[in-house]
Amino acid sequence: MARLVAYLGVASVGFVIGILIYVIGVLILPWLIQTFPSIAQLLASNRQIIEALLSGFIGSILSVVIAYYWASRGSEF
């Protein structure tokens, strides 16, 4: 039962994060680029922003893998 709750918790958080990323990517980001054209140039030319986004994506995958490992081993972790 604890595994099911852990999986549902991780899946719920991932679902909400996915919705937020979709809203930011589809609605907010194009509006920002139209409103402030310098943002598109900033994203295209600044390597640290792309690296930060990539690091966040990798961190989210790693957290799901850790939660999966924790849930599969039980609560003795």
**76 compared with 60, residue with greater pLDDT:** 60
What does the chain come to in residues?
77
* Measured distance CA(19)–CA(28) in Å, rounded: 13
Residue found under tokens 């957290």: 63
* Proportion of the chain above pLDDT 70, given as a percent: 95
* Proportion of the chain above pLDDT 90, given as a percent: 0
Beta carbons of 69 and 10 less than 8 angstroms apart: no
**74 compared with 23, residue with greater pLDDT:** 23
* DSSP structure class, residue 46: -
- On whether the pTM is more than 0.85, the answer is no
* DSSP structure class, residue 37: T
Q: List Cα–Cα distances, 3 to 48, 72, 73, in angstroms.
A: 37, 7, 9
